[in-house]
Chain A
C-alpha cells in the first residue's frame, strides 16, 4: 500500500533510540523507509538523504506505532461523540497507529454490512482501524451473529462488549463456531446478576458514599466461566480490561494450564483507585469495569510485568459533555484514553520502576498485535512503516484544548504527563507531529528540525485519504 500524496512522505528517521521488541533491537539507529514500508534499520542508514524527507529523532524513542485492541469510536450512531476519523486522529495523537473498535454502536457492528461500513470509513482515517464484530445478533445475547461473513469483511475479533453473553450455552456455541475461523472472542467479564445497577467498585468506599457497588466477584465469576468454556472448546479467549487481583490470578492459572487465554489492562486501571470518587463524586471517574483498590492496581501491574496480562488497551470511551456532567448515578460509564495512555503508563509503570521502556513498548505494540494476530507492532524490513517517535522525558499538561478526541471525558484533565508524542507515521507518512516544547521538558534542546516538521499538515485531521 504505497501512499505518497498530500501527506509528507518520510524517507528516514535518524538518530533516535530505536526500540523494536519483536527483533530485540534497542539502540540508536536510523530507520529507512521506502514505499510506505520499513526498508532497513541501521546506524547511519539515513545519511545523505535530503533533509526535508528526514525526521531527526535525536533524544527520542523510535518505536513501532502503538496498537490498541479496545476502543469505542461511536460510529455509526453517536457521531456527536466520536467518529472513526476523529477517533483515529486521537489515536495518532497518542502514538496509536492501529486501533480495533468495539461493536457497541447504533446499529451494532453485528453484520457484514456494518463491518464494511466501518472498514470503508477507516480508509479516510489517519491511522488503521479494524472493527470487532458482535458475537450475537444486535448484541442481544440471544442468537449467533454471522461471524464468518464478518470475518471476510474485515472483522478482526468478536465481542458483545459491555453486554456480556450471559447465556453460557450460547457462548459455548459461539466459541465452538468461532474456533472454525481461528478468531478471538473478547470477553467483557461481568455477571449482571451481581453487578446490576452498580455504579462503582463495591467496597468500603461505595459503602461510605451510599453508591451501589459492582463487586469484584462479578468479574471473577465471568472470567472463570469463560476460561472454562475456552478450555472446553479450544477457542482463543481474550479477557478485556482485567481489573481485579483475583482475575489476574485466574488468568495466570489458566495460562499455566495451557488454556488459550490472553488478557489486556487499561492505563486507568493501572493508576486510579475507587477512593478518588469520594473526593467529589466526579462522573469522569465512572467506568466499567469500575476503578478498584490499590491491591488490585498492584496485582494488575505485577500481571503485566510477569506476562499474565499480555498488553495495554485503552478502552477509549468518548462521551458527550452532558452525559458526564451531572449526577454520578446517571452518568455514562467510560473515559477517553488514547491520548493519555503513554503518559499514564509512564507514571504507573516506569516512574514506579516496574517496567523499562522496551517492556512498556512491547506491551503496547508486539504483544498487543499478537493477541489478534494483526500484522503490526514491529519495525523490521518489509513491515508497514507505522512508527511513533516520542520524547521520553518531555512533559505536557492534559487540557480540553490539548485533546484531539471529539469528547473530553478524561479523568486525567489537569494532570502533567511525561512522554510527549513528537511524530506518528502511518505507512511512512507523517500523520501527526508536534515539536513544541511541552510544559517543561528537561531534555529539550535546540535540536534543529528539518522543514518537514513545519509542514502545516499534521496535528489536525487531514481531509485527504491515506489510501
Chain B
C-alpha cells in the first residue's frame, strides 16, 4: 500500500503536557497513572480497546477528568488542536456519537469537516479507499470513522497516513464508548480492580460490549455477559468473561455496574428472538432486578434506549442511573483521546482563551 503523503507531526504537535489545571484542584489520579515520559499514548490510532495497555487507559481517564473540568468553565474552548483538520467520516446514522465527536473537536479548536454517507453508498459507488484518498488530498490530519464493516478503520491505517479514530465499526468495537463507560465507573470508585460489571443484552451484535469487555478486563474488573443464547457468543468464555443466559444467576453473583444494551427490533424478524415481549420478561431490567444490584451500583445504557423493552423508565430515570452522566463523560473522554493522539498545545488557562 503506497504512502502518498507524510505528515510531519513533530512540527505541528509539540510534545504534549497534561492539560493545565487551575490551582487548588486535586492532582489527576496520580496514584494510578504511570507517566510515559513524553505524555503520549503507546497507541498511534484508537482502533479498539483490545490490546490497549492499562497505562494508556489510565492516562486517558486522567486526561478526561481534567477536560471535564474545562466543560464546566463558562468558555468551554481550549486551543490544543488549533490548525489541525479532522474529518468525521460517518457511513452509518449516528446522533450522539457524531455530535459528541464534533463538539469535542470544536472544544479543542480543531477545524472540523463532516462527511456523511448513506449506507447504500458503501455497497456501490466510490470505494472507501477512494473516498479517503480524496479527503486526505484536502490535507486533513485525523479521520474519525463510523462504518458498518468491522475493520474499516484498520483499512484506513493501511491506506493512509492519517491518525484514525474508530467511532464504531460494525459489531467489532466502539472504543470511545468503552472508554466513557469505564470512565463513568472509574469516576465512582477510582479503581476498577475486582469490580463486577454485568453487560446484558445482544452481545453478539454489540461493538459497545466488545470494547467494554476488553477495557474492563485490562483494568482488572470482572466481567459477565448475560442474554439469550442466540445473542451471546459462547466462545466469549474463552477470553475470560463469565457467560450467563439466566439474569437471576448473573445478578446473584453480585453486580457493581450493569450495562444494559439496546435490543434491536430486527433481531425479532431474523429469529434471534421470538418477541421483544419475551425478551423483556427474561432479560429486561426492571426495579425488582435493579434492587438486587450491590449498594452504590451504577445503571448504564449506551443509548438510545427502548424504554420498556431492555430497561424500564423507573430504572432508567432512577437513582442508580448514570445514563446522562455517560453522555457528558463521552465528551470529556473524546476530548482526551483526541488531545492525546493528536498532540497539540496544552489547554490554556481560563484567561488564555
A and B pair up: yes
Residues of A within 8 A of B (CB): 203-204, 207-211, 280-281, 322, 325-330
Whole-angstrom CA separation of A325 from B130 in the bound complex: 11
On whether the beta carbons of B152 and A208 are closer than 8 Å, the reply is no
Chain A residues with CB under 8 A of B207: 210
| B113-172 with Cβ < 8 A to chain A | 122-123, 127-129, 147-152, 154-155, 157-159, 169-172
Whether A327 pairs with B158 at a CB distance below 8 angstroms is no
Interface membership of B262, Cβ < 8 A:
no
Option from A208, A281, A325, A328 in Cβ contact (under 8 Å) with B50: A208
Structural contact, A280 and B158, CB atoms closer than 8 A: yes
* Distance between B97 CB and nearest chain A CB, rounded to angstroms: 16
A327 touches B239 (CB 8 A): no
Shortest CB distance A134–B (Å): 27
Q: Considering the chains assembled together, what is the distance between the CA atoms of A190 and B154 in angstroms?
A: 30
B152 touches A204 (CB 8 A): no
Q: Which residue of A lies closest to B173 (CB)?
A: A210
Is residue B235 contacting chain A, with contact meaning CB distance below 8 A? yes
Indicate whether B233 reaches chain A with its CB closer than 8 angstroms: yes
> In the complex, what residues of B have CB within 8 A of residue A327's CB?
122, 128, 147, 149, 151-152, 155
Contact residues in B for A207 (Cβ distance below 8 Å): 204, 233, 235-236
Give A203 to B173 CA distance when docked, in angstroms.
17
Instruction: Report the separation of the CA atoms of residues A428 and B187 in the bound assembly, to the nearest whole angstrom.
Output: 78
B235 touches A281 (CB 8 A): no
Counting residue pairs across A and B whose Cβ atoms lie within 8 Å, the total is 65
Contact B236 A281 (CB under 8 A): no
21 pairs, A vs B, C-beta closer than 8 Å = A203-B235, A204-B239, A207-B233, A207-B235, A208-B50, A210-B172, A210-B210, A211-B151, A211-B170, A280-B151, A281-B154, A325-B127, A325-B159, A326-B155, A327-B122, A327-B128, A327-B149, A328-B150, A328-B155, A329-B150, A330-B122
In B228-251, the 8 Å CB interface with A consists of 233, 235-236, 238-239
Q: Are A210 and B127 in contact (CB under 8 A)?
A: no
Neighbour of A281 across the interface among B127, B155, B205, B210, CB < 8 A: B155
| Whole-angstrom distance between the Cβ of A199 and the nearest chain B Cβ | 9
Contacts of A322 in B (CB 8 A): 127
Contact (Cβ within 8 A) B210 A326: no
Do B151 and A328 have beta carbons less than 8 Å apart?
A: yes
Closest 7 CB pairs of A and B: A281-B151, A210-B171, A210-B172, A207-B233, A327-B149, A204-B235, A329-B149
A210 and B155: CB pair below 8 A?
A: no
Known: A210-B172, A281-B155. Contact between A328 and B149, CB under 8 A? yes
- Considering the chains assembled together, what is the distance between the CA atoms of A326 and B124 in angstroms? 13
Question: A210 touching B235 by the CB < 8 A rule?
Answer: no
A326 touches B150 (CB 8 A): no
Residues of B within 8 A of A203 (CB): 235
Question: Cβ of A325: which chain B residues have Cβ within 8 Å of it?
Answer: 127, 129, 159
Taken together as a complex, chains A and B put the C-alpha atoms of A207 and B123 apart, in Å, by: 24
User: With A and B bound together, what is the CA distance between A330 and B124 in angstroms?
Assistant: 10
**Assuming A204-B239, A209-B150, A328-B150, what are 9 further A-B pairs, CB within 8 angstroms?**
A204-B233, A208-B210, A209-B172, A211-B172, A281-B150, A326-B129, A327-B151, A327-B155, A330-B149
